[in-house]
Chain A
Amino acid sequence: MTVAAARELRDGQVVFVGIDLPSRAANLARRLHAPGLVLVYESGTIDTRPDELPLSIGDGVLADTALSVVSVPEIFNYWLQSGRMDVGFLSGAQIDRYANLNTTVIGEYDEPDVRLPGSGGAPEISAGCREVIVVMRHRKRAFVDRVDFVTTCGYGTGPTDRALLGLRGAGPVRVITDLGVLEPEPESKELMLTALHPGVTVEQARAETGWSLEISDELGETTPPTERELTTLRAMKTVGAAGR
């Protein structure tokens, strides 16, 4: 998934980076095909070039290697909200057929079965970035018909919601999973399967999806990770966290 996500990033793009897999993917892309990628973290570090991976979004290595460090209100208001970010990466505990994401609660809000971290910057990333890429493990309990809580609006209830709500970015354009790739069908905005990783079947993807998953007429197969991609990925170390 990390390699597939890294390949989505093009040289010269400005990417709003979240921690963990998005951070690994963005830093992998910068070491491979996109040396001019501009990494922006919500802690306020702009054009940062960490030589080791940060564990959190505000590790010192991000400030040390940044072109500029700005305040948190500034990063959200001037840089994200204003539409200056090309790509944002998101993930979640649940995603639904219209790519809405839940990182708030499983179950009822007032009496949750599982309390999750909450929204962070995700709603604004989905609203403000020109496009959003979602990266998640493809499991039936995560790919649900309706999310328990809309933390982050993807396409809401259909194709017209984003415009009505004043969300200016395109929204989630691709969902990369460990089984393959889903993309919104252009008319309905419902997520459909557009590619599978080598060795994965349509039946597997359908079995792990909680709605009746449409399959693209042009279903493709992703290119397996190259030796160089894997070697580079494995060589990236997280600051002060041996073994992670």
Chain B
Amino acid sequence: MAKIVSLTDAVAEFVHDGDTVALEGFTHLIPFAAGHEIIRQRRRDLTLARMTPDLVYDQIIGAGCARKLIFSWGGNPGVGSLYRLRDAITAGWPVPLEIEEYTHAGMANRYVAGAAGLPFAVLRGAAGTDLVRHTRGVSTVRCPFTGERLTAVAALNPDVTIVHAQRADRAGNVSMWGITGVQKEAVLAARRALVTVEEIVDELTPMPDEVVLPRFTVDAVAVVSGGAAPSYAHGYYDRDNAAYLEWEKISRDRETFTAWLRDLEKNEPEKGEPAAERGAP
């Protein structure tokens, strides 16, 4: 059952050195504050899983917290490259980074299999690509009914999945809406799940396209208003596209990144303001 805790306590209790950690959120609801707390608590040797590493993994990788990345598309969407990720892969800075890559559908279906308690998932698509030769988790399987050869991907079951959502109630039931990506599957596939939310409400009112994570699927909920910025929280704040453009400059150079990192480590953990002071959406 979910307990309501601070972000600092949640990361301290649920994210351990050497864990396989998935921070999901497909452009929307990316758990940046939780990623920053992982950096502040100086976790090491993490295996990071995420479809689109985005800025948040560029930051965690640049901080030296990870030894491996499992992903399907590693760029700054609409802007360019993730230079900390590139630097870690090609130059081993600040620590070497092993990679394991899939297609988007491959990653999505790995979580689906993990959530469903299956050892693998079946899909079409990776046939004819060089990924098959380089990625252990991709293979082929023959359909027992038609004989057709299909792509198989191994299930992904993270030690801990962290997502950001709009709301939770006091019992720890979580509600998110808008583009909800692969978060439900990533939470259900994980051994432990931590959710940061914009606010805690007395009662969850149904929202269009809502995804609900019942309290028995979540271990901890932490209130962090603004916890998805510079990505966005639908109904709360917009994507800070200027910050995504700005990251290009920070990420490109080790020194500017290191200065950014020192600033982050100096700052207080992101606790979030009480919901009442911000007003409901």
State the Cβ distance, A111 to closest chain B Cβ, in Å: 8
The interface bits of chain B over 214-248 (1 if a CB of A lies within 8 angstroms of the residue's CB, else 0) are 00000000000000000010100011111011000
- Chain B contacts to A: CB under 8 angstroms: 26-28, 51-52, 71-75, 77-79, 81, 85-86, 89-90, 101-105, 108-109, 111-112, 123-131, 134, 148-150, 178-182, 184-185, 209, 211, 232, 234, 238-242, 244-245
Report chain A residues within 8 Å CB of B26.
43-44, 58, 72
Q: Does B108 lie within 8 Å of A72, measured CB to CB?
A: yes
Q: Does A62 lie within 8 Å of B179, measured CB to CB?
A: yes
Report chain A residues within 8 Å CB of B111.
73
- Chain A contacts to B: CB under 8 angstroms: 19-20, 42-45, 54-60, 62-63, 68-69, 71-73, 76-77, 80-81, 104, 109, 112, 115, 117-124, 127-128, 149-153, 156, 161-162, 165-168, 238-241, 244
Cross-interface CB contact of A73 among B72, B112, B244, cutoff 8 Å: B112
Q: Does B241 lie within 8 Å of A55, measured CB to CB?
A: yes
Report chain A residues within 8 Å CB of B81.
117
Q: Does A121 lie within 8 Å of B104, measured CB to CB?
A: yes
Report chain B residues within 8 Å CB of A165.
127-128
State the Cβ distance, B217 to closest chain A Cβ, in Å: 16
Report chain B residues within 8 Å CB of A77.
105, 108-109, 123
Q: Does B239 lie within 8 Å of A240, measured CB to CB?
A: yes
A117-B73, A117-B75, A120-B72 in contact; A109/B130 too (CB < 8 A)? yes
A44-B181, A123-B131 in contact; A118/B71 too (CB < 8 A)? yes
State the Cβ distance, A116 to closest chain B Cβ, in Å: 8
A63-B28, A118-B72 in contact; A55/B77 too (CB < 8 A)? yes
Of chain A, the residue at the smallest CB distance from B79 is: A55
Of chain B, the residue at the smallest CB distance from A45 is: B179
Q: Does B184 lie within 8 Å of A119, measured CB to CB?
A: no
**In the complex, what distance in Å separates the CA atom of A71 from the CA atom of B26?**
10
Q: Does A60 lie within 8 Å of B178, measured CB to CB?
A: yes
Q: Does B125 lie within 8 Å of A128, measured CB to CB?
A: yes
**In the complex, what distance in Å separates the CA atom of A20 from the CA atom of B79?**
9
Report chain A residues within 8 Å CB of B123.
76-77, 81, 124
Q: Does B104 lie within 8 Å of A72, measured CB to CB?
A: yes
**In the complex, what distance in Å separates the CA atom of A222 from the CA atom of B209?**
44
Report chain B residues within 8 Å CB of A240.
238-242
Q: Does A43 lie within 8 Å of B27, measured CB to CB?
A: yes
3 closest Cβ contacts across the A-B interface? A58-B27, A153-B128, A56-B77
Q: Does A121 lie within 8 Å of B124, measured CB to CB?
A: no
A63-B179, A69-B209, A166-B124 in contact; A120/B73 too (CB < 8 A)? yes
Q: Does B73 lie within 8 Å of A152, measured CB to CB?
A: no
The 9 listed contacts between A and B (C-beta, < 8 Å) are: A19-B78, A42-B104, A54-B78, A119-B101, A119-B104, A120-B104, A123-B126, A123-B131, A240-B242
